[in-house]
Amino acid sequence: MVNSSFAPDGAPAGQPSEAGAKPSVGGIYRIVHSRKGEFIAEVLGWEQDSTGEVMLRVRIPTGPDSGQQRLANVHIRDAEGKKTTPEFSEKLLLKSLIESMERV
């Protein structure tokens, strides 16, 4: 369930977060993640699971020319049988593992 009322530090919607203003849904951000490294992604919304963990849903360009193929969820074969990555991959990121976010 998407819930855009959580900022990266758990502040209510419209309140500043530790890293600045609340990321806007649909905005493109440079995200530094403690495990995945640095990448560019579109923010799709904030979610909260049944245990209360806050997560950020993002859409990451992972196509052949994106430079971010390492973040693809799967590899696919094109019409010629060559292995490639999908144009985009969606991921859920734990709030606690996001080191910084900067709008680009």
Question: In the prediction, which pLDDT does 2 show?
Answer: 36
Question: In the prediction, which pLDDT does 8 show?
Answer: 45
Amino acid at 62: T
Question: In the prediction, which pLDDT does 90 show?
Answer: 96
Cα(79)–Cα(90) distance, integer angstroms: 23
Per-residue pLDDT of the chain (104 residues; tens, 9 = 90+): 333 333 444 433 333 344 456 678 999 999 999 999 999 999 999 999 899 999 999 999 999 899 999 999 999 998 899 999 999 999 999 999 999 999 99
Question: In the prediction, which pLDDT does 24 show?
Answer: 84
Cα(97)–Cα(36) distance, integer angstroms: 9
